[in-house]
Structure 1
Amino acid sequence: MINGRVNPENRLEDQGISGLGNVYYNLIEPALVEAALNRGEGTLGKGGAFYCTTGKHTGRSPKDKFVVRTAGV
């Protein structure tokens, strides 16, 4: 099932992605919060702010560094 505002020029099937369950495109903020709450991904705080815990090991490791050398830059 596809939900939200979809650009018919950029369909997932055209990119070889198929067999998906629900697909959500460009949802407005209240719909994003509702979907996350329904999946148990966070809670609402005072004033309606959405809170979630990302876990202990998130982000990029400080040792993961790469140098890209490009001629002429």
Structure 2
Amino acid sequence: VFDRGAAVVIAQQEAPRYWGISIRVGSHISLFDTGSGHVLLAFRSPQERKMMIAEHLQSTEQLNLTPEFFARLD
């Protein structure tokens, strides 16, 4: 879920086989450097995306978001 400028992990699922990847519940992850963050942005309206990006920029350094990045979200 999105919370105050970041994606927050709210659930965890065990891997069905030997190998797996784990991220702790409650972890804050980037909207721009993770697949999960991209999914959160991709399924929002353009207005919601602008709000999410603005909130993220308040809590971090300036980003260089290219037109190609936004094209991938659509």
Q: Structures share a fold, TM > 0.5?
A: no
- Higher-Rg structure is 1
TM range (shorter): under 0.3
Higher strand share: 1
Query: TM-score, with normalisation over the residues of structure 2?
Result: 0.28
Query: TM-score, with normalisation over the residues of structure 1?
Result: 0.28
Higher helix share: 2
